[in-house]
Structure 1
Amino acid sequence: MTSTHIELQVTGKDLADRCTVMRRYVPEIATEAVAEIMRQVPEYAYFHDPRAVEVMEQANAWTIDHFLALMATPSLPSTDILKFWRDLGFGEACEGRSLIPLQTSLRVGAGVAFRRLTEEADGLGMDTSATTMAQMTDALFIYHNHLIAAAAEGHAAASEDAGNRFEISRRRLVDLLVSEKPAPGRIAELAQEIRWPLPKSVGAVAFAQPPKDRGPLSPDVLTAFHAPEPFLIVVDPEGPGRRAVVETMLKGETSVVGPAVAPAEAAKSLRWARQALSLVQSGVLPAEGTVFATDHLPILMLMQDPDLASRAIERRLAPLLRVRPSGRVALAETLIACFQSRFNATEAAQRLHVHPQTVRYRVRNLQALFGETLDDPSQHLELHMLLHLWLATARENAS
């Protein structure tokens, strides 16, 4: 088992103090390191995905920062960073890769970090004598070896254990499902390997962060907490009674369920789930509980081009936007309810929990604002969609 400490031979308080100061440069050094890794390590070319790049930068920043922290405080425990690198090695085995790409990325990242730290120290007038640099080099070499040893341990565990071979197949199935144009035959083959009954439809569930308390999940749920952005694959999320099952399973987590699709199209469901999640995080969609993307399709469709949507709102909802701010939301909600009830005042009032006379009064105001537009059914759909989007952003701004 990998140790919980990394012993670096550091002498002199000045060097420790300098390393503490240098920690301020870690984020920009990590960004440069990741760019160089992507250039030199072909296996990690997929990190050009902005989301994956961010995760990679965070991992590099943590690795570099912990090294500097160890230089400043040699007794600092390294349990978490060693476990992280063990998990990286495990993940590489699950992806079917050897340790060579991971070793190369660490070597490249360490080279960038050492060069940048030396440049920054020199720029600050710190001691960069041969003796000091030799200490840094030796310490970095020891640190590098401990991380690689941890990764090798995880890689070996995944490769040798029968249970982990099952995990490897499961991960490969998950990754295949959300890839572009996966081969149906390969999906069926991997599903059979892990005894996952191939369903008619699946939905992807996107999270901002991995659930802290994962709890028991249904056996047919495929997890991808190893991914740069964690997600689940759930079976038939829109089937009879399935929504309640999914909501119960995800209770306590801010999550978004993508539309139900055929297994070979799971990437589409995940893409929609992540787009909806970004709207949840920005406050456009509600952030409480589980959000189903299919409940918000008009907003999702319009937000494919936010600038175009904004221009459409300015043009089509201009009469509403001229009303004083305190009255806009009530009028917008009333017009939506009228569209939903075919302008039946009684039914609209029930939807809004107000008196029918209130609805009739507001409709007269709306007719004065929009004129003949409200009498033209061909324009109702566009107005309906734009009202939903404007109302969501108006509530966000109000909060």
Structure 2
Amino acid sequence: MRREIPSLRQEIRADVLTAYPEFAPVFTGPQASHIDVAIEQSLTAFVDQVARPSPPSPLRDEMFRALGRTAAEQGYSLNALRGTCRIGTRLALHRAKKVSRHCDLSPLFMLSFADTLFGYVNQLEGLAIEGYMEGSTTVEDDQDGLRRRLLQLIASGTTAHTSLGELAERTGWQLPEQVSLVALSPGARPARTALAPDVLVDLTDPQPALLLPGPLDAVRRASLEHALSGTLAAVGPTVPLATATDSARWARQCLALAESGIIRDGPVVHCENHLLTLLLATDPALLEQLARRELAPLDGQPATRRARLTETLRVWLATRGTAAQIGEVLHIHPQTVRYRMRNLDATFGPQLTDPDHCFATEAALRALHLRRTAAP
């Protein structure tokens, strides 16, 4: 079994994540390496015990108590913890059967092996439950920690599993039908007293956030403005609970655009007012590629001339106005506009009458204009 351990560890990891997606932050976060080590060491220790029976290692015992404590402190259910042990047992036994067929081992030996495996996993599960109970005692008084965990689960998209409902029940928080996620600038310290008691707050994350349950009405907006008191923040659109991760993602993108000066109506920015800007500005590399393709006919022009023609083209696509109207926007003479438009017509040809090209060109030019006019 020794050479099977690395691939078996990966298989257990993948199956646990499939069965319990709420464990994704643990398997991908700062603790990921510790989890991988714990799985691998538990498998190695079992194979060692089969080969050379010996008393259990105190280090192994404490490792599994620590895993149980962590599960409790982070708000995972005891059923989920037990379920991961069952998944590991099932996969390990399945792999052992494959090896036994390859090595032509007797059914009697495999029966003994399976009994030993079940006994070993029962030990590990007992240690993990012991740690879970210790952690639960600590967590009972840490309602803020449970509410933070609840916010993290919802923002990461883990809204379909029963653990979310269990955690909400433990915190006395009623699961809403709709939510709005609010992204805060690092170091933000909103006034808790100005927020309603049902607002979830996580200021420990590198990307601090709030969760507003229910409709984002005028009362919510006013209390949020008061609580943030000038802190830069972005409010994601109100979405169904199951798609809260979209609201969180858009809020963070909107906050980044506000920090870069592309969006300037803060300090509290509402994504609903900037959906087109979000669409145009959240993939700069792709927009550069689009602009390079659509503006290729201007490649041979000197930089100054290219800039003038590009700006004239942007205003014409945005307004489809007369030479006088475009000249008023650009602060130039209408005759100059007509001269530039003749140049553009000669340079782009049929591209300026093709709806798809016009739409792509306008999108690229709007995005470039947003970036150029961003506040410092």
- Report the counterpart of residue 125 of structure 1 in structure 2: none
CA drift at 1:224: 1.4
The 2-side partners of 1:317 and 1:262 are apart by 40
Q: Does 1:174 align with 2:151?
A: yes
Q: In structure 2, do the counterparts of structure 1 residues 391 and 342 end up closer, same or farther at CA, with 3 Å as the change threshold?
A: same
Query: How big is each residue's C-alpha offset from its partner over 1:192-236, in whole Å with a ceiling of 9 and x where there is no partner?
Result: 665656544322222341304546443143211122421112346
- Report the counterpart of residue 265 of structure 1 in structure 2: 243
Query: How big is each residue's C-alpha offset from its partner over 1:78-134, in whole Å with a ceiling of 9 and x where there is no partner?
Result: xxxxxxxxxxx9997354699xxxxxxxxxxxxxxxxxxxxxxxxxxxxxxxxxxxx
AA partner of residue 360 (structure 2): E
1:371 to 343, 349, 361: 349
Q: In structure 2, do the counterparts of structure 1 residues 340 and 94 end up closer, same or farther at CA, with 3 Å as the change threshold?
A: same
Question: After the TM superposition, which residues 71-82 of structure 1 pair with which residues of structure 2 at under 5 Å, given as runs?
Answer: none
- Report the counterpart of residue 118 of structure 1 in structure 2: none
2:202 to 205, 217, 224: 224
AA partner of residue 173 (structure 1): L
CA drift at 1:262: 0.9
- Report the counterpart of residue 73 of structure 2 in structure 1: 93
CA drift at 1:366: 4.5
The 1-side partners of 2:74 and 2:194 are apart by 21
Query: How big is each residue's C-alpha offset from its partner over 1:296-327, in whole Å with a ceiling of 9 and x where there is no partner?
Result: 55565466665443222212123456665557
Asked if the contact 2:159–2:241 (Cα under 8 Å) also holds between the matched residues in 1, the reply is no
Q: Does 1:201 align with 2:178?
A: yes
Identity percentage of aligned residues: 30
2:295 to 314, 317, 326: 317
Asked if the contact 1:95–1:171 (Cα under 8 Å) also holds between the matched residues in 2, the reply is no
- Report the counterpart of residue 255 of structure 1 in structure 2: 233
The 1-side partners of 2:177 and 2:283 are apart by 32
Q: In structure 2, do the counterparts of structure 1 residues 358 and 239 end up closer, same or farther at CA, with 3 Å as the change threshold?
A: farther
The 1-side partners of 2:235 and 2:208 are apart by 13
Question: After the TM superposition, which residues 1-399 of structure 1 pair with which residues of structure 2 at under 5 Å, given as runs?
Answer: 46=25, 53=30, 93=73, 95=75, 159-161=139-141, 164-165=142-143, 167-183=144-160, 187=164, 191=168, 194=171, 196=173, 198-212=175-189, 214=191, 216-219=193-196, 220-235=198-213, 249-279=227-257, 283=260, 285-286=262-263, 289-297=267-275, 300-301=278-279, 306-319=284-297, 335-343=313-321, 352=329, 357=334, 360-361=337-338, 366-395=344-373
CA drift at 1:373: 2.4
CA drift at 1:168: 4.4
Which stretch has the larger CA shift, 229-238 or 181-190?
181-190
The 2-side partners of 1:243 and 1:356 are apart by 45
The 2-side partners of 1:346 and 1:395 are apart by 24
- Report the counterpart of residue 4 of structure 1 in structure 2: none
The 1-side partners of 2:326 and 2:222 are apart by 27
Q: In structure 2, do the counterparts of structure 1 residues 313 and 196 end up closer, same or farther at CA, with 3 Å as the change threshold?
A: same
Q: Could you tell me the TM-score, scaled by structure 2's length?
A: 0.51
Which stretch has the larger CA shift, 265-274 or 250-259?
250-259
The 2-side partners of 1:242 and 1:359 are apart by 51
AA partner of residue 310 (structure 1): E
- Report the counterpart of residue 33 of structure 1 in structure 2: none
Which stretch has the larger CA shift, 223-232 or 320-329?
320-329
Q: In structure 2, do the counterparts of structure 1 residues 359 and 342 end up closer, same or farther at CA, with 3 Å as the change threshold?
A: farther
Q: In structure 2, do the counterparts of structure 1 residues 372 and 284 end up closer, same or farther at CA, with 3 Å as the change threshold?
A: farther
Structure 1 SS opposite 2:243: helix
Alignment size in residue pairs: 269
Q: Which has the higher Rg, Structure 1 or Structure 2?
A: 2
Which stretch has the larger CA shift, 263-272 or 352-361?
352-361
Query: How big is each residue's C-alpha offset from its partner over 1:272-306, in whole Å with a ceiling of 9 and x where there is no partner?
Result: 3334444555x373476334445555565466665
Q: In structure 2, do the counterparts of structure 1 residues 216 and 328 end up closer, same or farther at CA, with 3 Å as the change threshold?
A: farther
Q: Could you tell me the TM-score, scaled by structure 1's length?
A: 0.48
Query: How big is each residue's C-alpha offset from its partner over 1:337-375, in whole Å with a ceiling of 9 and x where there is no partner?
Result: 54444546787788x585894995565564455333232
Q: In structure 2, do the counterparts of structure 1 residues 44 and 185 end up closer, same or farther at CA, with 3 Å as the change threshold?
A: closer
Unpaired runs of 5+ residues, structure 1, are 1-41, 57-88, 99-154
AA partner of residue 382 (structure 1): A
AA partner of residue 188 (structure 2): P
The 2-side partners of 1:241 and 1:324 are apart by 55
Report the RMSD for the aligned CA atoms in angstroms.
5.2
Asked if the contact 2:185–2:232 (Cα under 8 Å) also holds between the matched residues in 1, the reply is yes
